[in-house]
Structure 1
Amino acid sequence: MSSTIKIWDPVVRIVHWSLVGIFTTNYFIIEAGGSWHQWLGYSAGVLVLLRLIWGIFPSGYARIRAAVINRAAISAHITHLKERHIPTESGHNPIGWLMVFATWLLFIALSVTGFMLEEIDALFGNSLLQDIHALAANTLYAIAIIHIIAVIVVSWWGRIPLIPPMITGQRKKRD
């Protein structure tokens, strides 16, 4: 019988899915620059800051110090992929952590440039800031697509359920 292990706590999951919803809404559904767009963008920035603060305090995989990004960790992950056996007791792999940090940076860039464009009169309509904001949004979109593809491929190839733990917080251990 399989037992379960806690992978992602509620804060991590709520922030993750909230950012998914905010980005999807702002990028595809509502008018850019409108009030809803602005408030959702500010909310995304606050959520990322919350997640960064939360990453200091908890134990386990939510902790930012759990991010091990070095040659040995990357080599171990490549070995696991070659063997098609990702440990069920793992959180993010080194590449996954790089994606997390890039995503957080892009959300912060979007929030800051959006705030500057809308709330600082002297910068309203500034073409450089608009270009940076658009580049950050389009880069985040590309990263999101890569993330989704990577989760699907690594789940299948590495024989590890990656999606259910981001919903339930738990992953079944292998027997």
Structure 2
Amino acid sequence: VRANAGVAVWRLCRRFPVRGIHCGQVLSAGFAAYACGFFTGYPYVHGADLMENRHWFLLGGLIRHILQAAKKVVANGEFTARIVEESGIATETNPSIELSRFSRLGDRERRYGWDGRRVLLTIARLVGRRGQDTVIRALPQLATMYAAVAAQGLERVRREFDRELRARTLWETCR
């Protein structure tokens, strides 16, 4: 996000009937939402993406300040919620996936050749710090494990892994 993101958000808030602002990352989008909320009085909701900067002295303080000023903080899971709550900030957690709904894939198991195999499903933004690349590279050592990956912006990553893993991974682009 560019440095002028706060100005762009403020202009949008003035132009359209905005009742609130949602931002997905604490820095860049969070700072822009905080600035816009400060100047307009609009509340903002924050999805916390904290792992990269929470231990930096100045950034950690800025992150806490932005989150404390948010009307609501929505964490993407229990792990992230715990990190936020350690700073004394209440969170809501998005409902997790109901695993019972996905325990059997039916015809898809046969279609993809997964009958009787364990399948690792990853639905995420593929970024290095999360370690999905490490897990996918470890697949050749796990003879009965296959992977299914659904993500946005997948083409470059897909080409890299297809060279390494051949047909052991099913890729699906999220829309």
Q: Which is strand-richer, 1 or 2?
A: 2
Larger Rg: 2
- TM-score, normalised by the number of residues in structure 2: 0.23
Larger relative contact order (Cα-Cα within 8 Å, sequence gap ≥ 6): 1
Q: Which is helix-richer, 1 or 2?
A: 1
- TM-score, normalised by the number of residues in structure 1: 0.23
